[in-house]
Chain A
Amino acid sequence: DAGVTQSPTHLIKTRGQQVTLRCSPKSGHDTVSWYQQALGQGPQFIFQYYEEEERQRGNFPDRFSGHQFPNYSSELNVNALLLGDSALYLCASSLKGTTNEKLFFGSGTQLSVL
């Protein structure tokens, strides 16, 4: 049973560049959520995708966008990178429609913006 997979594991970019991160959910899951985790902080909710639509969004600017594909996989895009975007980006998958919905995390993408 494949868990949540993310790629790449590490990424180094410069200010102003654009980046795309990818996530495949756990088998049987249909919902993907993205989180940003700065060093020493808890995960901060970016947005959630379900049925190929953004369903919820946290307090992140429009530079952060995403997509969900028919196979439930998802991408996170960040434009015009800032130094402050350096963080661990976590993808979490879940099965919508259950009151006992639980999040399972991928191993994350460590993004460094220079």
Chain B
Amino acid sequence: QKEVEQNSGPLSVPEGAIASLNCTYSDRGSQSFFWYRQYSGKSPELIMSIYSNGDKEDGRFTAQLNKASQYVSLLIRDSQPSDSATYLCAVQNWDNFNKFYFGSGTKLNVKP
């Protein structure tokens, strides 16, 4: 079992719609959770971090965390073609020397 699981996609949404990206993780000791955006041929860019259960909003992005279900999600409102990228979920365990685990990413296509 992989530490972090994501649907590889592609997830296709029309411009202006809400894109919903999901991630599950296996290590119950994980305390920090991150979403990275990676454009083709580029390096990952941190877009959201969340540490406690519930929702965290930043502009058009909302991260949701449910530790009991070991589930993290990212909502992108008013999706734009420029949001088309691969979104990587990462989890971190402070008790394991802050080790980060990455999912394989979900490819998002926003169609004009």
Interface residues of A (CB under 8 A from B): 33, 35, 40-45, 48, 55-56, 88, 90, 94, 96, 99-108
Contacts and interface: CB of A to CB of B under 8 A. Distances in A.
Contacts of B98: 94, 96, 101
A56 B104 contact: no
A35 B36 CA distance: 14
A43 B92 contact: no
Contacts of B1: none
Pick from A43, A44, A48, A96 the residue with the most CB of B within 10 Å: A43
Interface of B: 4, 6, 8, 31-32, 34, 36, 42-46, 49, 51, 88, 90, 92, 94, 97-105
13 contacts: A43-B88, A45-B101, A48-B99, A56-B97, A99-B94, A101-B98, A103-B46, A103-B90, A105-B43, A106-B43, A107-B43, A108-B42, A108-B43
A35 to B, nearest CB: 8
A103 B88 CA distance: 13
Contact of B44 (A44, A48, A90, A96): A90
Contact of A43 (B49, B51, B94, B102): B102
Contacts, number: 57
Closest 9 CB pairs of A and B: A42-B102, A42-B104, A105-B43, A108-B43, A43-B102, A101-B98, A105-B44, A107-B43, A42-B103
